[in-house]
């Protein structure tokens, strides 16, 4: 079995794979990574592991993890199941690398636009030749709320992702309308631009805000909450 780990800023997402099938999905605090991985390895017969380390992981913890399982760490130098044509490949986030690997596996020989809606909203495009061309990075919903609160004198911090009307009848509703409608129109606009250039386009949505966005977006999309973990597993298989 394979173990795929996505280390975020605060929490860790883990999937245990039997070939391409997720056997178990887990979430826990980043501080508990050593003890939780030990539990998983004890429960399952883990042969290989892979880690996408978006947040900072200390050398001490990396060493301890390597003692538990022979982990591979995603980087710009790891072998990947697509051609990376990004002009600065060393700056491409490991999460984006994993997402594209997952997209190529799920939709082979297709033009795919991957939209990851989390802290940031990332757009990543891979064509039907499995060539990664690049994309875009934009502030996510919560990041926009925090920016309005931090860089103004009187605007409150909002966390809601419940959009009732595009006309805000008070300050809170106006912020919600501005942020959420702005995100929705931005994403729909980006999808339209790609569709105008690539007629046969598949749009794949993932990330923390997937539930809200998948119901609100006008464009036809496929939603996959576990795309990043599946992409990690695909990279691991590709490197065996």
Which two three-digit tokens encode residue 163? 């959009």
Domain boundaries, position 32: 2-73
Percent of the chain with pLDDT over 90: 84
Global pTM reads: 0.93
Would you say residue 33 lies in a domain? yes
Provide the phi-psi class of 19: left if phi over 0, else alpha when psi is between -120 and 50, else beta.
Answer: left
Instruction: For the chain, give the mean pLDDT.
Output: 94
Residue 142, φ and ψ in degrees, nearest 5: -65, -30
Residue 239 lies in a domain: no
Compute how many other C-beta atoms are within 10 angstroms of the C-beta atom of residue 124. Answer: 25
Q: What is the pLDDT of residue 158?
A: 96
What are the residues whose beta carbons fall under 8 Å from the beta carbon of 192, sequence distance 6 or more? 219
* Token pair listed for 20: 């391409």
Q: What is the pLDDT of residue 54?
A: 65
In a domain, 131, yes or no: yes
Is 96 annotated as contributing to ligand binding?
A: yes
Look at residue 33 and give its three-state secondary structure. helix
pLDDT at 55 over 70: no
Position 239 scores a pLDDT of 94
Q: Are residues 185 and 218 in the same domain?
A: yes
| Integer Cα distance of 90 and 31 in angstroms | 27
Statement to judge: residues 114 and 154 lie in one domain: yes
Domain match, 108 and 205 both: yes
- Radius of gyration (C-alpha) of the chain in whole angstroms: 19
Domains of the chain: total: 2
Q: Which of these is catalytic: 95, 124, 188, 193?
A: 95
Q: Is 127 annotated as a binding residue?
A: no
Q: Which helix (H) or strand (E) holds 174?
A: helix 171-197
Residue 8 annotated in ligand binding: yes
pLDDT in tens, 85-121: 999 999 999 999 999 999 999 999 999 999 999 999 9
144 labeled binding residue: no
pLDDT average, residue stretch 200-220? 92
Q: Any catalytic annotation for residue 209?
A: no
Question: Are 61 and 175 part of one and the same domain?
Answer: no
* pLDDT tens, position by position, 120-175: 999 999 999 999 999 999 999 999 999 999 999 999 999 999 988 899 999 999 99
């Amino acid at each position: 079995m394979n173990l795929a780990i996505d280390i975020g800023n605060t929490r860790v997402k883990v999937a245990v794979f039997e070939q391409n099938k997720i056997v178990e999905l887990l979430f826990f605090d980043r501080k508990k990574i050593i003890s939780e991985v030990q539990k998983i390895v004890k429960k399952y017969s883990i042969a290989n592991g892979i880690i996408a380390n978006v947040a900072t992981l200390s050398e001490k913890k990396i060493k301890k993890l390597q003692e538990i399982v022979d982990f591979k760490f995603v980087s710009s130098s790891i072998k990947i199941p697509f051609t990376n044509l990004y002009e600065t490949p060393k700056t491409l986030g490991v999460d984006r690398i994993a997402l594209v690997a997952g997209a190529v596996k799920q939709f082979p020989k297709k033009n795919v636009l991957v939209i990851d809606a989390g802290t940031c909203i990332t757009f990543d495009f891979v064509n039907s030749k499995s060539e990664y061309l690049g994309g875009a990075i934009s502030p996510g919903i919560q990041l926009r709320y925090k920016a309005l609160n931090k860089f103004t004198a009187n605007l409150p911090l909002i966390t809601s992702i419940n959009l009732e009307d595009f006309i805000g009848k008070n300050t809170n509703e106006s912020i919600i309308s501005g942020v959420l409608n702005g995100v929705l129109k931005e994403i729909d606009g980006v999808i339209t631009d790609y569709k105008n250039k690539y007629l046969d386009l598949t749009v794949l949505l993932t990330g923390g805000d997937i539930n809200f966005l998948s119901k609100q977006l006008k464009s036809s999309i496929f939603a996959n909450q576990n795309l990043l973990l599946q992409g990690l597993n695909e990279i691991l298989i590709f490197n065996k």
